[in-house]
Amino acid sequence: MPSARPPDLPPEPSWSGWGDPAEASELSDGLSQLLTQALGIRRPGRRVGPLSALAPPPSRIPATVRAALESLLGAAHVLDDDEARIRHLRGKSTPDLLRLRAGDLADAPDLVLLPASHDEVLDTLRICSRELVAVVPFGGGTSVVGGLEPRSDDFTGQIALDLRRLNRLQALDEVSRVAVLEPGLRGPEAEALLGEHGFITGHYPQSFEYATIGGYAATRSSGQSSVGYGRFDEHVVGLRVATPTGELALGRAPKSAAGPDLRQLILGSEGALGVITAVSLEVRPAPAVSAYEGWRFESFAAGAAVVRRLAQDGPRPTVLRLSDEAETALNLARPAEIGAPGASCGCLAIVGFEGTAEDVAGRRREVTRVLEAAASGPEPEAGESWVRDRYHGPYLRDALLDAGALVETLETVTFWSSLPELYAAVSGALRDSLSAQGTPPVILCHISHVYPSGASLYFTVGCAALEDPLVQWRQAKAAASDAILAAGGSITHHHGVGRDHRDWYERELGRTAVRALRAVKAELDPQGILNPGILIP
């Protein structure tokens, strides 16, 4: 039943910031003044010039290699113009944008390729492996951990393998509730195709508007409804993967005892082991009813105890998030609330329900009984505001960079018993590092994903930018990463490893596990062309 992406495509993403250029935020005079006072901002941030004024280094791809790729894909799908190359340069982290604003285009791909099938991807990898050309799989370009920043100096060139033309719903088994989706589908496109048949993925990360199905799988993405719907990787039942040495077809059944589950090698592999060309995914009926509301706790610790109670003993809502005191008071995702009456009261939890009318009513009633014993609420306006603005936080980040602030995020995960220590350790490391540099920060945090045994912490950090904000942030991020491992957390929960986390990932894995991972890389990608320097220590 091949079904192509619907005609109402999301706008082309910004080349120099987050998401839809039409949604870019502007700071009001009042907010700018407040930030200047609160953070001690000293100068406006450096802004990027027009795209037409930028020129990446000359392409290194030999003419013979380009001719072979054009013969395979067609000349129209082998791009080397400056705009295409710049639009496929790095991801969307704050360091990525700061380097772009400084005019650093050194990592721009030499070519951008647009394959349209599994076989074209497979043949492209064979050519590139033979000719020693580095290959960076490219979906939505939303990486925030250096996942699109390969080390390609030892190769004859670097290509961005843009998968946007692999954009079909290949099949839908309504009895098993399994859809086969191609990797280039962005979140809204996949939901629209499934919605025609009454189904959803249930996966809504903050990058939902631009991230892709392949990117979800390659990074072990976790969406904002993970409490009710689970992580993306938990619902992947099959994968088709192209590698330089051949094809992997993984997943004959939902579960199996036929040896180790090799799907787990690809999930989270960030394009370093192969290129995902199809994902078989468990889907679910579209909800008939949804309801979101806010509840306020006196403290982060009190709220975390109730969140843990719901995660462990139920009933579970579909969405469950808890902001600490600082994030509740200064919610960067909703600047209109800054300074508003009551905005700094306690710790705000967002609780959401989706499903049939009967299911939502039943779970909401039981969850309310638990919350009423420890929190004040409900606040429907808070829930509605969160739903409306849930994807807009990164737009404000870009406006703050313009104003001269340094704003970035990081996340981690641990067991419930270690959560207070991890929260204190990471907050303290960030505060100490940035204060020592003369830029005391504002640090916000929320519990974003919960499980019976633990939860993730998501930090947002803001301070005045120094003359070299890249060095400033790298020092703070290194201190926070050291603190994460020392406190027993994982270096990442849902952002992936990329290049930024790789050294700490090696420490987290241990020497034996690293050798095993390198052995898999050598078997599937003997020339090391796939996203070199990413993930694999």
pLDDT tens digits, one per residue of 420-452: 999 999 999 999 999 999 999 999 999 999 999
CA end-to-end span of the chain, whole Å? 41
- Which sequence positions are flagged as catalytic? 458
Predicted confidence band of residue 8 (pLDDT cuts 50, 70, 90): low
Instruction: Report percent pLDDT > 70 for the chain.
Output: 96
Would you call the peptide bond into 315 cis, given omega within 30 degrees of 0 as the criterion?
A: yes
Q: In Å, how far are 331, 400, 441 from 337, measured between CA atoms?
A: 7, 16, 20
Considering only CA atoms, give the Rg of the chain: 23
pLDDT at position 44 is 86
SS3 527: coil
DSSP secondary structure, 245-275, as one string: TEEEEE-SSSS--SSS-THHHHTT-TTSS-E
pLDDT at position 333 is 39
Is pLDDT at 338 greater than 60 in this prediction?
no
pLDDT at position 345 is 74
Q: What is the pLDDT of residues 170-202, one digit of tens each?
A: 999 999 999 999 999 999 999 999 999 999 999
Give domain limits for the chain.
Answer: 289-389
Is pLDDT at 385 greater than 60 in this prediction?
yes
Which residue bears the tokens 């843009």?
162
Out of 264-273, 342-351, 388-397, which region has the weakest mean confidence (pLDDT)?
342-351
Q: In Å, how far are 203, 283, 356, 388 from 286, measured between CA atoms?
A: 12, 9, 9, 19
SS3 70: helix
Strand ranges across the sheet with 319-323: 376-379, 289-297, 347-355, 319-323, 442-450, 454-464, 405-415
Predicted confidence band of residue 236 (pLDDT cuts 50, 70, 90): very high
Average pLDDT over residues 35-39: 78
Predicted confidence band of residue 332 (pLDDT cuts 50, 70, 90): very low
Would you call the peptide bond into 378 cis, given omega within 30 degrees of 0 as the criterion?
A: yes
Is pLDDT at 475 greater than 80 in this prediction?
yes
pLDDT at position 342 is 43
Is pLDDT at 339 greater than 60 in this prediction?
no
Considering the segment(s) 289-389 as one domain, its CATH architecture is 2-Layer Sandwich (3.30)
Average pLDDT over residues 224-234: 97
The type of residue at 500 is D
CB burial of residue 72 (10 Å; 0-12, 13-18, 19+): middle
